[in-house]
Structure 1
Amino acid sequence: MAQTKRMTVAQALVEFLANQWTVDGDIRERTIPATFGIFGHGNVAGIGQALRQLHVEQPGLMPYHQARNEQAMVHQGVGYARMHRRRATYAAAASVGPGSTNMLTGAALATTNRLPVLLLPSDTFATRVADPVLQQLEQPHDIGLTVNDAFRPLSRFFDRVQRPEQLYSIALAAMRVLTDPAETGAVTIALPEDVQAEVADVPLEFLQPREWRIRRPRPERDALAAAVRAIRAAKRPLIVAGGGVLYSTAEGELRRFVEATGIPAAFTQAGVGGLEWAHPQNVGGVGATGSSAANRLAADADVVIGIGTRYSDFTTASRTAFQNPGVVFVNINVAPFDAVKHGTRVPVVADAREALVELQEALAGFRVEADYAERIAREKEAWDAVTEDALAATDVALPGQPEVIGAVLRASAPDDVLVQAAGSLPGDLHKLWRVRDPLGYHVEYAFSTMGYEIAGGLGVKRGAMADGSDRDVIVMVGDGSYLMLNTELVTAVAEGLKVIVIIVQNHGYASIGHLSETVGVDRFGTQYRPRNPQTLDFQGEQVLPVDLAANARSYGLEVVEVPVEPGASARLEEAIARAKASDRATVIHINTDPLVYAPDGEGWWDVPVAGVSTLESTRRARAEYERQVAAQRPLLGGTGADA
């Protein structure tokens, strides 16, 4: 008879999670190294009790961390997961109702970014003995529906433990998805509050250490052969490298591949770091926020080799980036869903690292022609000169964002990690940041979640510390995003997590303000201003008297305010140096001019403009929109059909 241990469902789940291991080649680490939790009537007697008990019985087996917001718990898990290249993440436990639904944004972020996180939302009574309970949603047409069903479309895996016996199959299925590079994302196990506390005779086998090996599939022979034929026939090939390059630890293979073939590499937001910025084959970001070098090469490319990219609209410049009538897409991706995008005839379902190794062997002797190599060098040199000017320090009192980025670059170390997510900063960073370390650039731009930055930065810091690294984490956050979710600064203070947070204050939503102008809406609703009782809008010159530096200081952090005076960017460099020398979390506040933009990278983003309007600004914007949209490449046929 199988040996068992008498435990609650929550106790069994927590101990199970503490014994799960991810194996990736020679690397073996805990899949769930810690759990976040905010406790209430839905989970305090279940998951909360289980974590406390395990902490007393086996300290350190499943560490517990506090957070100030349930959404931020998930963001920290995502930051950690990217830093560990999807091998590990956190679990996040929340109470019934609003506590659990606060994690919905985090779930969407994780799944959109293809990054693993384990969500444990509490649920209402499975027995319905007390019905409705506090915070229970009731739907007359479906009594069994709870707010946790909102996680279904946002999760890569969802199930609800209605009976103790279901825990075993659900937990194992959840771990499979968490550790599968083709399927990973948010994994949700809903836990009714009564079931969490129920007792079961748990098989000891369920609690034993278990290893989950990361799949690294090699390309199929015929698919590889088709890719080789397409590349060998190319005159102007271009690589579009995405996050899959970093998640498969393929940056070394990518470097060797481009050096052997001379093929240039352009990068998505998630792929930045695949080559250091100074490498001759790195032509910068591609698409709507890309460089002119990458976008000019993309426009003429006859073969586009996508490696680990999901081809978002920013990457493809809303299907205007690739203008060659006969362009062929060779899509290498571990996920078949992404490998077949753009109607390609050459999908290669494989791990990025394994595919690059075999491609290089099969392409032995292939190299781009001399005139193309010269063009690559010329385009890169021209763009580097443009960005050098944009990043340079000036003597102005109110620097633009590009100058601020330049100051951060000059003051940071090569292995520092830059964290960002939303607003105008992602676009400027994609163009201007000069990455020097594979994991030195962390911009969450699949969901581009306002409020991610500070919480995600803490997750990145935890991930670095778990690897024994003391690299600094520099979070850049606009005032709009800071106001969305800044309370995890308290978590940094509570746990002594050193992060450097730079608040870039421009008194509004700079990104949407600029976009608003391009669609003819004149920055309406995008500025932080007092409401004018006569015009009933927020368009005045007077800014709100909000003191973000004082807010940060109230949390107990070190705060440095860069004064609005000539040479402000130089003062910013000094402030960063001071923060790097400190062993505490530091917030640096600087005011900027939101009307100073990064250089034009010749990309475009499709945001439809009103087809009819009484506003002259909107009519002008519509005319420009119609000109741009005419260049869009259809999925199949037309001017952009595959050869």
Structure 2
Amino acid sequence: MEGTEVAYETIRLTTAQALVKFLNAQYIEFDGEETPFVEGIFTVFGHGNVLGIGQALSEDSGHLKVYQGKNEQGMAHAAIGFAKQKNRRKIFACSASAGPGSANFTAAAGTALANNIPVLFLPADTFATRQPDPVLQQLEQESSISITTNDALRAVSRYWDRVERPEQLMSALLRAFEVMTNPATAGPATVCIAQDTEGEAYDYPAEFFEKRVHYINRMIPTEREVLGAADLIKESKRPVIIVGGGARYSGARRELIELSETCNIPLVETHAGKSTVEYTFANNLGGTGILGTLAANKAIRDADLVIGIGTRYTDFTTSSKTAFNYDKTKFLNINVNRPQTYKFDAFQVVADAKTTLLKLKPLLLDYQTSYGDEIGKLKAEWETERARLANVKFDRASFDPEIKDQFTQETFNEYADALGTEFTQTEALITINDVIAEDSIALTSAGSLPGDMQRLWNPTVPETYHLEYGFSCMGYEINGALGAKMACPDQEVYAMVGDGSFVMLHSELLTSLQTGYKLNIMLFDNSGFGCINNLQMENGSDSFYCEFRDQDQKVMNVDYAKIAEGYGAVVYRANTKEELEAALLDAKKQDRTTLIEMKVLPKTMSDGYLGFWNVGVSEVSSKEQVLEASAERAEKLKKAKRY
């Protein structure tokens, strides 16, 4: 009858209570397996969320696990580490108070966005009524009273919304979950909730809280795409497959191995794709690009077809677009995200990696590349080089660091004396790789360690290599490791962290001790921001404010082990291979978080192999070395693609 209102059952809840009830009802289905999508919520309570979301969680959290974070950025990195290790099939939400608490989400949201990792950010906002304005921690902008610190999160969110009325929560959450569960758009969703609105009551439709299943359907390639891709591969003699993160999230390990074996196609890896296929697979040549192995970069250099599977082609993967021979190399891109397939004017297959490979293999049964036994020879050559790096020793009389034109011999001696060590970073890292259990998860993010990890770390078990290198956010290492451990509690997790990143953010070390999630923190201390010091000196500049020196310009020797010991961690100090091996073996026996402090000499990380990084170098300088670096950059850019 016209004018009659629709009658439906309602439940009277506050906005915050409705939020918690909705999160409990969200499920995900992938390949027929259905699981709850939201594992729990990290929170640092303060004004703006403690009386809203805090009250709702304390009264009835349902199946959600609630964890107390120690820093908003740190706990959000843990949420990212969890979702990444779960291959984006489970997430955490993160709640913070108004003002600076929510502003602390910004770097973490950028990390999630750059890595295409779903996280639900729930920053508290100012008053919807605006009656008490300006409230504590509220900013005032003359240009608009509606601007809050949460607007900073717009730029680093895949979806962003602000809820100022209880009924707005429904459309905001439905859209947020569509984005987070869509493989093509997966990333952080931010729903800001005004702090007075959190406590406001509303008669919500009961059906809003019914179980909702988000189906992750594999995108199937069209016949045109499959036939076109097969033709391109058949026309090539030296194709190379770049295994990106999309291949891992698709679960395409077996299909990659089978296609590679059938056609004798080498595999090279991005950071996100590494350990999709274990390194022990004969055709896996390791990481590619600026931080890649010599074997992988030789294969890419000489390829006539690059098959990018689930990769964004970042500058580190492409050596700033100089890695390829554009006169002869064609590109075939397979990705669920259509814009990514367009890169390098590639033939585009907008589809799931695993499904596409399954359809391609029958069309390529009679195809063979021209490599013959060359793939094995490239791999053997690289393994000889890796063995050399594992045994680089410091010699006070004539030490040849991996990075040329750096410190004087006297400076190396100064560091050796100040830190009380002659340990090299490459020897330390390879020792860790050789000693820990094969199914251990190795994790890092920033500094020189990602380069050494991409080149030297050999995973023998799939999905045990965990790097955040989309944003390379310092401080992710320990905090992200907590999330990885929560995702895989039965596996040991090793966070590789430099002293610079440790100082910047290690807040959830305390949370790991509080919750009983054991981490193994491998602290590489070279007394400075070594990676950036390399960058400035390689490009002709003097060492300038990247070393950790005191007011008397003496190298600082900080006792980081004592810091961790103060939190309650089990700590070790290891400045030789033998000490490190003993510490690793004992750390395996512990049931709480451990930290092994290693004093390592600067400039003893591995160097580049055929890679080039396009960074801004000054074209005007009084230093001849800077001008030479600028000229060298200009020359190398002649090989780069412009679009």
- TM-score norm. by structure 2 comes to 0.93
Q: Give the Å deviation of 1:389.
A: 1.8
Alignment of 1:416-565 (within 5 A): 416-465=440-489, 470-531=490-551, 540=553, 542-562=554-574, 564=575
Query: Aligned AA for 2:355?
Result: E
Aligned residue in 1 for 2:413: none
Deviations along 1:61-91, one digit per CA (max 9) or x if unpaired, are 1121011100012111111111111111100
Which consecutive residues of structure 1, in runs of 5 or more, have no partner in the other structure? 533-539, 636-643
Aligned residue in 2 for 1:148: 150
Alignment of 1:237-316 (within 5 A): 237-316=239-318
Q: Give the Å deviation of 1:476.
A: 0.8
Alignment of 1:45-444 (within 5 A): 45-55=51-61, 58=62, 61-344=63-346, 346-369=347-370, 372-392=371-391, 397-444=421-468
Query: Aligned AA for 2:91?
Result: T
Distance 1:375 1:612 in 2: 45
Q: Give the Å deviation of 1:324.
A: 4.2
Aligned residues of 1:510 and 1:526 also touching (Cα < 8 A): yes
Aligned residues of 1:216 and 1:351 also touching (Cα < 8 A): yes
Give yes or no for the alignment of 1:591 onto 2:615: no
Distance 2:158 2:607 in 1: 38
Aligned residues of 1:407 and 1:570 also touching (Cα < 8 A): no
- TM-score norm. by structure 1 comes to 0.93
Aligned residue in 1 for 2:410: none
Aligned residues of 1:392 and 1:406 also touching (Cα < 8 A): no
Aligned residues of 1:410 and 1:573 also touching (Cα < 8 A): no
SS at match of 2:91: coil
Query: Aligned AA for 2:573?
Result: E
Q: Give the Å deviation of 1:596.
A: 1.6
Query: Aligned AA for 2:362?
Result: E
Aligned residues of 1:14 and 1:51 also touching (Cα < 8 A): yes
SS at match of 1:34: strand
Deviations along 1:269-291, one digit per CA (max 9) or x if unpaired, are 11101221121211111111111
Q: Give the Å deviation of 1:610.
A: 0.7
Aligned residue in 1 for 2:613: 605
SS at match of 1:239: strand
Q: Give the Å deviation of 1:510.
A: 1.0
Q: Which residue of 616, 627, 641 corresponds with 1:633?
A: 641
Aligned residues of 2:335 and 2:351 also touching (Cα < 8 A): yes
SS at match of 2:135: coil
Aligned residues of 1:43 and 1:193 also touching (Cα < 8 A): yes
Greater shift in the superposed pair: 477-486 or 212-221: 212-221
Aligned residue in 1 for 2:628: 620
Deviations along 1:558-606, one digit per CA (max 9) or x if unpaired, are 11112x4xxx022111101111111111011010011223154221111
Residues 62, 597 of structure 1: alpha-carbon distance in 2 compared, 3 angstrom cutoff? closer
SS at match of 1:252: helix
Distance 1:600 1:168 in 2: 51
Aligned residues of 2:290 and 2:608 also touching (Cα < 8 A): no
Q: Give the Å deviation of 1:633.
A: 2.7
Distance 1:157 1:379 in 2: 44
Distance 1:26 1:132 in 2: 51
Deviations along 1:2-31, one digit per CA (max 9) or x if unpaired, are 111111000000111011111111322221
SS at match of 1:266: strand
Query: Aligned AA for 1:357?
Result: L
Distance 1:354 1:388 in 2: 38
Which consecutive residues of structure 2, in runs of 5 or more, have no partner in the other structure? 1-6, 396-420
Query: Aligned AA for 1:474?
Result: Y
Aligned residue in 2 for 1:22: 28
Greater shift in the superposed pair: 307-316 or 480-489: 480-489
Aligned residues of 2:302 and 2:325 also touching (Cα < 8 A): yes
Aligned residues of 2:293 and 2:382 also touching (Cα < 8 A): yes
Distance 1:197 1:614 in 2: 63
Q: Give the Å deviation of 1:356.
A: 1.0
SS at match of 2:60: helix
Distance 1:376 1:259 in 2: 11
Greater shift in the superposed pair: 360-369 or 39-48: 360-369
Aligned residue in 2 for 1:537: none
SS at match of 1:406: helix
SS at match of 1:164: coil
Query: Aligned AA for 2:374?
Result: R
Aligned residue in 1 for 2:415: none
Q: Give the Å deviation of 1:293.
A: 1.1
Give yes or no for the alignment of 1:571 onto 2:573: no
Aligned residues of 1:267 and 1:285 also touching (Cα < 8 A): yes
Distance 1:393 1:22 in 2: 49
Q: Which residue of 33, 39, 46 corresponds with 2:45?
A: 39
Q: Give the Å deviation of 1:626.
A: 2.7
Aligned residues of 1:302 and 1:327 also touching (Cα < 8 A): yes
Aligned residue in 2 for 1:535: none
Q: How many corresponding residue pairs?
A: 612
Greater shift in the superposed pair: 394-403 or 8-17: 394-403
Distance 2:467 2:78 in 1: 14
Distance 1:209 1:618 in 2: 62
SS at match of 1:175: helix
Q: Give the Å deviation of 1:394.
A: 5.9
Query: Aligned AA for 2:82?
Result: Y
Deviations along 1:330-375, one digit per CA (max 9) or x if unpaired, are 000010121111122x110001111111111222211112xx2322
Distance 2:339 2:221 in 1: 15
Between the two proteins, what is the percent identity of the paired residues?
40
Q: Give the Å deviation of 1:545.
A: 4.5
Aligned residues of 2:159 and 2:189 also touching (Cα < 8 A): yes
SS at match of 1:160: strand
SS at match of 2:318: coil
SS at match of 1:497: coil
Distance 1:26 1:513 in 2: 50
SS at match of 1:511: helix
Distance 1:248 1:44 in 2: 38
SS at match of 1:315: helix
Residues 393, 517 of structure 1: alpha-carbon distance in 2 compared, 3 angstrom cutoff? closer
Aligned residues of 1:386 and 1:599 also touching (Cα < 8 A): no
Aligned residues of 1:246 and 1:438 also touching (Cα < 8 A): no
Query: Aligned AA for 2:369?
Result: V
Q: RMSD between aligned alpha carbons?
A: 1.4
